[in-house]
């Protein structure tokens, strides 16, 4: 063969080898591309599955939330602020439990509807105030005292008994003094006919740590008893005078309620407390007993019916949680609950 023919043959063979190499590289590229697409498809599928699961959980939580809110609304809708209707002769029981303050079960806004319903019921032959409270707000105590006095004048044939269990002190005794008769257990804590106002003074501590108090007021007494600055003698005198006036209101109410049954004693209105037996001797209470013995022995009626404002399910849950928390704290502190 001629030299030109050999060159053409070599070029043909080289071209074939290049074509084979290019085809091989193309196949390898197709394989790599296929792997990448499979990986992408797998990732996309995983993302889609995750989105589906998330949507399902979201729908579940939304459904549960809707069911809860719907149930709560139904409970609120069917909860009425009316007392149950009684059709048999009974003694109406009105609870005064826990601290007397705004928003608490023993606040005036909670007690008054029950009192009014009990007095207005034709089948309630008497009212027993079930008292177990360390006291609290003189305002709420005074409101309840005045309302009991008003209702007694409207329903003179319906006696009112206050029965103290663990403690009936301060504002709780203020309320009890409006009753016709007061009974307690021999170990009950009774009294605390006084008024207290307390605060703290941080001036020395602030001086030690280098803190300066800056207070700007318009009015000489706007910073009344500010715990972060030195006590002003004039403000202290004014505050003590205020407390004495409130104390006098308390003492006057007790004297009106108890009358000549009170026995002279230098500590009677000092804020001191006594157990039930001692309270009988001092005329603070009329005798020893409990809710059941008073209903049975003093009134001759054993049927007790509790009068209390109707609550929504949420309010009942919150009250129960609050009661459990208070019980646990008191058990932990191992301290009396009165002040």
> pLDDT tens for residues 285-336?
999 999 999 999 999 999 999 998 765 555 555 555 555 555 555 444 443 3
Average pLDDT over residues 181-204: 91
Residue 108 banded pLDDT, cuts 50, 70, 90: very high
Query: Is the same domain home to 37 and 152?
Result: no
Task: Provide the 8-state DSSP code for 259.
Answer: G
Q: What pTM does this model have?
A: 0.69
How far is residue 96's CA from residue 274's CA, in Å, rounded to a whole number?
Answer: 20
83 in a domain, yes or no? no
**What is the model's pLDDT at position 70?**
63
Residue 131 banded pLDDT, cuts 50, 70, 90: very high
Average pLDDT over residues 140-162: 97
> Which residues are within 8 A (CB) of 226 and not within 5 positions of it... i.e. 6 or more apart?
213, 215
Selected residue with higher pLDDT from 212 and 101 = 101
Query: Is the same domain home to 38 and 108?
Result: no
Mean model confidence pLDDT for the chain = 81
Last residue of a domain, one of 58, 78, 98: 78
Selected residue with higher pLDDT from 203 and 279 = 279
Query: Is the same domain home to 70 and 171?
Result: no
Is 39 exposed, middle or buried, given 0-12, 13-18 or 19+ CB atoms closer than 10 A?
Answer: exposed
**What is the model's pLDDT at position 80?**
44
pLDDT over 70 (residue 44): no
CA angle 284, 287, 290 (to 5 degrees): 110
Domain, as residue range, for 277: 90-333
Average pLDDT over residues 149-158: 96
Query: Is the same domain home to 49 and 101?
Result: no
Instruction: For residue 162, give Cα distances in angstroms to 173, 270, 329.
Output: 9, 22, 28
Percent of the chain having pLDDT more than 70? 71
And the tokens for 52?
A: 């589906």
Closest CA relative to residue 161, chosen from 122, 117, 129? 129
pLDDT over 60 (residue 1): no
Query: Is the same domain home to 48 and 185?
Result: no
Last residue of a domain, one of 36, 57, 78: 78
Query: Is the same domain home to 22 and 129?
Result: no
Query: Is the same domain home to 194 and 274?
Result: yes
pLDDT over 80 (residue 129): yes
85 in a domain, yes or no? no
**What is the model's pLDDT at position 33?**
59
Radius of gyration of the chain (CA): 40
Residue 134: half-sphere exposure toward Cβ, Cα within 13 Å: 7
Least confident of 27-36, 52-61, 89-98, 153-162: 27-36
The count of structural domains within the chain is 2
Query: Is the same domain home to 192 and 123?
Result: yes
**What is the model's pLDDT at position 299?**
94
**What is the model's pLDDT at position 29?**
55
Query: Is the same domain home to 291 and 143?
Result: yes
Least confident of 54-58, 83-87, 323-327: 323-327
And the tokens for 176?
A: 């009890």
Query: How many residues are recorded in the chain?
Result: 339
Beta pairing class for 90-97 and 181-184: unpaired
Q: Are 196 and 339 in contact (CB under 8 A)?
A: yes
CA angle 81, 291, 334 (to 5 degrees): 90
> pLDDT tens for residues 241-297?
999 999 999 999 999 999 999 999 999 999 999 999 999 999 999 999 999 999 999
145 in a domain, yes or no? yes
Q: Are 263 and 281 in contact (CB under 8 A)?
A: yes
Residue 8 banded pLDDT, cuts 50, 70, 90: low
* Residue 98 φ then ψ, to 5°: 85, 180
């Amino acid at each position: 063969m001629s030299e030109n023919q050999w060159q053409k043959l070599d070029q043909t063979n080289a071209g074939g080898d290049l074509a084979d190499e290019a085809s091989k590289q193309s196949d390898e590229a197709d394989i790599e591309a296929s792997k990448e697409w499979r990986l992408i498809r797998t990732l996309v599928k995983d993302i889609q599955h995750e989105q589906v699961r998330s949507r399902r959980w979201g729908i579940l939580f939304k459904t549960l939330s809707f069911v809860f809110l719907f149930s709560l609304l139904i409970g609120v809708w069917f909860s009425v602020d009316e007392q149950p209707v009684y059709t048999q002769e009974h003694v109406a029981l009105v609870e005064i439990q826990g601290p007397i303050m705004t928003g608490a079960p023993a606040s005036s806004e909670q007690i008054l509807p029950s009192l009014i319903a009990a007095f207005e019921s034709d089948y309630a032959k008497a009212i027993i105030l079930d008292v177990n409270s360390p006291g609290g707000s003189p305002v709420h105590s005074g409101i309840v005292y005045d309302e009991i006095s008003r209702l007694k004048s409207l329903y003179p044939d319906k006696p009112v008994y206050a029965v103290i269990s663990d403690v009936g002190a301060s504002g709780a005794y203020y309320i009890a003094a409006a009753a016709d008769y007061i009974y307690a257990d021999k170990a009950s804590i009774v009294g605390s006919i006084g008024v207290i106002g307390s605060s703290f003074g941080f001036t020395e501590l602030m001086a030690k740590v280098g803190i300066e108090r800056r207070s700007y007021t318009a009015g000489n007494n706007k910073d009344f008893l500010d715990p972060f600055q030195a006590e002003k003698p004039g403000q202290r005198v004014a505050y003590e005078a205020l407390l004495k006036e409130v104390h006098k209101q308390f003492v006057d109410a007790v004297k009106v309620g108890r009358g000549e049954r009170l026995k002279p004693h230098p500590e009677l209105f000092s804020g001191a407390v006594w157990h039930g037996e001692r309270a009988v001797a001092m005329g603070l209470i009329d005798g020893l007993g409990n809710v059941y013995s008073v209903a049975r022995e003093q009134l001759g009626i054993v049927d007790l019916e509790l009068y209390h404002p109707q609550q929504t399910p949420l309010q009942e849950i919150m009250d129960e949680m609050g009661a459990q928390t208070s019980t646990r704290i008191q058990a932990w502190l191992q301290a009396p609950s009165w002040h």
